[in-house]
Structure formats: structure tokens, C-alpha cells
Amino acid sequence: MFYLSMQVYSSRVIFIPQGSTNSIISYLSKSGYELNVVDNISLRFFLGYPQSGWIDLEKTKMTKGDFLYKLTTSKAAMRTVTLIPGDTYYEFFQNIANELGLSFDILLEAYNELKYQDDGNIIADSYNIPIGMDEQFLMYYLISHTQKRYSEMSHKIFGEYNKLNWYRYLTVASIVQKEAANDQEMPIVASVVYNRLSRGMPLQMDGTLKYGQHSKRTITPAIIREEDTPYNTYKYKGVPPSPICNVSVGAIIAAIKPKNTDFLYFVRDKTTRTHIFSKTYNEHLANINYTRVKESSTPIRSVATPTKPIPKIHEKNQIEPSVLSEPTKPIDIKSLFENIR
């Protein structure tokens, strides 16, 4: 009884792995709880089998007996947080910091320690997060979960997981995520990206400038002229150096298997909120005029037709484009994976 009345200090939320009582006692001992054979006997013969998963102990200071009892009865209170496709890591951290009462700065610091590239390291999804999980563990969970998903998807498609090449697909997928009006457009937008890259054309897409903390900004001619970063695809050929946002599975699939088209341009129809695609610049101009008449409003911005002359394209230090097969030929996924640069 004296032993069971000893004080135990713990984080409020802890993780209990699945397994036998012996393995759980061993895990907790290695985690700093200093459990022994008395605790094992108490659980086996008096209290019952420990819960598995994240559990909420409801307090951080308790007796040893209370701690063991809570191992068998507690379940963690969960909160669901959602990473919306197209949101950047910066937006997501702001949201979960507010929802879960966490520190944005510590989340960002933990992310920078674990990230592979600037963005795209957390797949867009809904996550059940135990209340009380700290910033470092949360970030480890989100990124490790995503890497597992990426590995599973890549093995199903390619039979392997080449992380560098996978993230190059994610970069294209993030552009598709920003530009496409809906899931049905994604493979078509992806084809425009690849068709322009294969011809050595700059992408000239506003979405690539909406990265990191700039995700919600309105892209203006001044930004296009003045921003000298590789995310400015009006100034630099090729794709940005990393994904510009977190993406959905649909965007990833579109980037890996784009629709086979000859489209090089698209313009947004504000009345339908979808895009009109075209193969030639003259067709594109006609589509722009059509949307202007249809909307009877201010002319809209579109791919490759800014309202003012675009800056000179940089040839030095340019981002290497993804080179694919000719757009008029069927695209083989294996060769696509091997040839993307």
C-alpha cells in the first residue's frame, strides 16, 4: 500500500502501445516511469489490462495506484484538425495553434527540424489529435504518418519509394492543387504544366507565388515584376524548388498520370468557376475575350497573359524543368517517374 501511494509525475496525455502487460510495463519503464514487478502484478491481478493508444490521465501528479488504475480505464480526449488541400504549412500551423492551444513558434521550429522540403511534408487530410499532445510530438506524428502514406502510395504505383523523385511529383501536384478549379480539372491542368515544361516555356502561373506565408495574397503585376525568387514562374523557367502547398491524393495522382492533351493555356471563367483550355495562343486570346464579354466586368488574369509585359526570363540559376514524353503520345507512368528531373 505504501508503494501504491508513492507520487508519480507524468504528462497528461501518454501513448500506450499494443501488446502484453509485460511489454507495456517495459515500454513505460524505458519512458521514465520506473515500473517494476509490483506494478505488473497489480495490473494483472487487481486492475485489469492497460488501454492502448493515446490516453488522457486528466492530471500530471497522482499516486502510483491512481496512475495504474488510469492506465486501465482512461481514453484520450481527441480533437479533429483538418489540413485543407492547397493550404501551406504556415496556414495549417496557425490554425492548429489556435485550435489546440499550442505555440505557433514551437510548431514551426519542430517542423523545420523534421521537414524534407519546405512544404508538402504533411498530406492534406483530417487528423484525430489527442488533447495535450505537445508540439514536437505532434509534428513528428504528422510527418511520420505522411511519409508512411507516401511510401505506401509510391510502392503501389512504382514498386519503390524514391523520396527525391516523389517530392518532384509533389511539386507539380502542388501547382495543380493551386490552379485547378475542381478534381476533374486536375489531370488537365497537370497536362498543361508538363506540356509547357516539355517545350521550354515558363509556366507563368500565379499559384506558384502563393507559397508559405504568402498563400492568400493577391498576385499583382508589381509582385510578378519585383519578386526575384524561384517561385516566380514568370521570371524563372521550370518548377519551384519545392512544393508550394500541401496536397490531396487526387492532385498527386494527376501529377503522376496527367491527361494526354495538347493544351498549353487556360483561363478562368468566373461565371462557371472553371477553366477554358486551349492549344494555341490565338485560341487563348479568343477565350479571354469570350470570358470578358460573358462576365461584362473587369478583364481577368490568365496563364501566360499578364496585364503588363512580364519580366525577362532568367536563363541562369533557373529551376530545372520536368521533362516528359511528348504530349501527343500516351504517357507511361514508369518512364514518367524515371525521366522527371
pLDDT single digits (tens) 209-267:
999 999 989 999 999 999 999 999 999 999 999 999 999 999 999 999 999 999 999 99
Contact between 72 and 50 under an 8 Å Cβ cutoff? The reply is: yes
DSSP string, 11-45: -SEEEE-SS-HHHHHHHHIIIII---HHHHHHIII
Residue 282 counted as domain residue: no
Same domain, 36 and 90: no
Same domain, 63 and 86: no
Tell me the average pLDDT of the chain: 84
pLDDT digits (tens, 9 = 90+) for 277-315: 999 999 999 988 888 877 765 544 545 444 444 445 554
Measured N-to-C along each axis, helices 163-179 and 135-158 cross at an angle, to the nearest 10 degrees, of 100
For 318, residues 6+ apart whose C-beta sits below 8 A from its C-beta are 236, 237, 238
Same domain, 81 and 69: no
Same domain, 223 and 318: yes
Q: Number of structural domains, the chain?
A: 2
Residue 298 counted as domain residue: no
Same domain, 149 and 200: yes
Same domain, 315 and 243: yes
- The answer on pLDDT for 120 being more than 90 is yes
Q: At which residue does the C-alpha cell 540559376 appear?
A: 317
Same domain, 94 and 145: yes
Determine the number of helices (DSSP H) and then strands (DSSP E) in the chain. 12, 8
Domain region containing 52 = 3-73
